[in-house]
Amino acid sequence: MTKQADTANEERKGTAIYYSLMYREWSEEKKREVRSLAHESVSGDELFLRKLVDATYLNGRLWGHTSHENEDNLAHSIYVTPFKEQVSEPYASAIIDVVSGERSAPSIVKPTYWLWNGHGFHPMERNEASVFTLELARRLLDHYTVLEGRTYQYLYSVLDSGRNSVHFFLEEVDL
């Protein structure tokens, strides 16, 4: 049996499989990896979530995702560049302000919603029960969401593992 088949059988049995995940800084100018930023072991659901977000807050800095790869479906890499190189103003500074703000970490990964008001992002009050990692990943697949009868476009998403949060940056739209 192949490694992939063994992994699939273990997941069906309910045994958690963990994957090696490396964050690597990429230099577009040099067309190569500059350095490794972090190495972690994550579950399959968390790996899915981490690859879907647009950026990650890591080592006190915001990094935008450029690509990701895997080696034999076991060792995974996410290539990142400094966030400001990827997102234009006025959103870039406003997102950095939100993510680098006050730090507190709940015990589970939770969604945090931020609404664009034309000048910056402000918190959206949402009374949500705990959300599973895979449910957060599913939300990352959408471009729009309807909440309480209003339609919002997802502008950007950031994984903040220090706060155990996925930040969803939204803008209200009229479709």
Q: Which amino acid type is present at position 44? A: G
Contact 165, 111 (CB under 8 A): yes
Reading the block at residue 12, the tokens are 């069906």
Domain, as residue range, for 8: 3-83
Segment 52-100, tens digit of pLDDT: 999 999 988 999 999 999 998 889 999 999 987 777 778 888 888 888 8
36 and 78 inside one domain: yes
> Residue type at 152?
Y
Is 32 in the same domain as 97? no
Based on the fold, state whether residues 97 and 68 are members of the same structural domain: no
User: pTM of this prediction?
Assistant: 0.79
Query: Cβ of 101: how many Cβ atoms within 10 Å?
Result: 8
Together in a domain, 64 and 107 = no
Both tokens assigned to 171: 């803008």
User: Which of these three, 83, 114, 137, is where a domain ends?
Assistant: 83
The confidence score (pLDDT) of residue 50 equals 94
* Least-confidence region, from 94-108, 115-129, 148-162: 94-108
* Band of residue 104 on the pLDDT scale cut at 50, 70, 90: low
Into how many domains does the chain fold?
2
Domain endpoint, select from 83, 110, 129? 83
- 43 with 79, same domain? yes
Residues 93 and 167 in one domain: yes
- Domain shared by 133 and 114, yes or no: yes
